[in-house]
Structure 1
């Protein structure tokens, strides 16, 4: 948690943010609510009315309701939204208890915003300063995410939710409905977990609540491909990568790095597991595209920079609990480093990849030299002393 009164900031920086920074006025947020912006969070007190001195640009506001009456004051699932704030902007929101969410519709009322701005001096003691010490870290994680890209990728509802709001694909009110869908009846005893899962209806996200990531191509080869071409396109995913870029980032191919950052932030800060899954698939597509690596120098120089900052921010046990479960990260990066050392790859990219490999080997003790014919690359020893085979 974060103490909003413990900000140590250079006086010149503080003066600049005081004059040019944006302000989030968040009224009615219950005491005990876990609320954060970007890479910091805190539990708000009864005097909390918002956040001031926010640097203009893209930010991620996130919050979790708290049940103060429960044992330990348990918090609910995290909800977040991406905001692009302008200099001196005031964004006004009211807490809606029945929804346990913030309603920003008041920001559309210019008279209300003007009233708040006129009384900002009286409100100032109740506003916590933006945690400036996290700004550099936040920018390094999101410098490729534009306002337009964030708007396009986040749900139509505008909310990034840790747990998806799902509904049945087909309404199965009666037993006869289940029979028509070839599903077992609910009143029969389950003989196995699979049978129990089969009894559950298929679910889909409620309209407007799903993250809108670029679909990863299911076919990695062109129509009418020969068996030899299919094999080649399965080993080198450049065709699939080009298809994704053409369909989703045709005007700005480097936006795919912004999407990689967006997915990572949704997972790391928003607690959305779907973000991790998309990050994983998109990273594999980028790292296993040998021809693209020779043709898209700037894209891959950017990828190294993005990964450098991302892997520098995850907690050590992240790799043990999630990433190293199937060793996907070390095996994916091993392919990347192998392709990056190819004779047709730009020399600057080769050198940058070599330095990045050395950095990861030193930081995480990952072995990228293992023979891929024997097994997946091995995580030798992680910083916390845990060994994963």
Structure 2
């Protein structure tokens, strides 16, 4: 059997990581500004994380959700406190797509409606309704194209209000910083107006914080920059630093019922231990503030570089979620960064480099990256 070939790959075999650096099987070191697609939040192979996950594995790795798991309750309490959502409820699953599936399902259960509003260039996952809410026809199979979703321009409040006034919208789902969509930021005016319109029309507001949340923006959630409080929040990626964990944070206005949602692996003992270790490190090392401070420093350095490098047409983002727009294709730039400068970055579209480093990224590392990017440009 061979692998199902759906991923274009760099010819690099990464075998080791530490902090914001990784090494390949030849011993070559790389600076990591990709974080495995925003998954590595506290840094590769953090010793506290390794210890906590190892200790839990030595006790119990998994048992089903048919018994009490006190680690789930501990995680809910800790996450509520650190995020500012003490009064919300937590449902644990395995991935971001699952988080959005369950969020949309809950919304439909609550108001009996079936239509979803999603933003143009949105990305919400690759399963059933999550992929239908993703504005990319190339990854929506015919079986997923069920006419549930209307796509609207991000920040065009009038367009969203006009659809909401029809009275049939189940949920609005937005990324307050679009990742795959090109590091496009929702505005405060749009977000607050959308929340008010959802409330007027009995529609559930869902913030997809899977990539932009969990401290990456310099606040715990990106929507907290915008002064809103959504009905449902979805998280994954950085929640457990590489262990597959996703979660739905649910307003107290939603009443759970037995059998309404379910999962086999979600919230297992090992997953909870990994997620708790991440919160330990985020708090002890003040990583949310570091993301804000270091992100501002990196953005300033990039904007300064833009003045001398005409190929950079825009720099945008928040915290350690930054887009560098180019007037040339990003692919050869990214390849030279990997093979010549030994730096990993993300990308999106034809012309955008996407920076998603671990939240322990430092100013010295930012300076190192600027030097290496300058060499390539």
The interval holding the TM-score normalised by the smaller chain is under 0.3
Q: Between Structure 1 and Structure 2, which shows a larger proportion of strand residues?
A: 2
Give the structure-1-normalised TM-score.
0.21
Q: Between Structure 1 and Structure 2, which shows a larger proportion of helix residues?
A: 1
Report which structure shows greater RCO (CA 8 Å, sep ≥6). 2
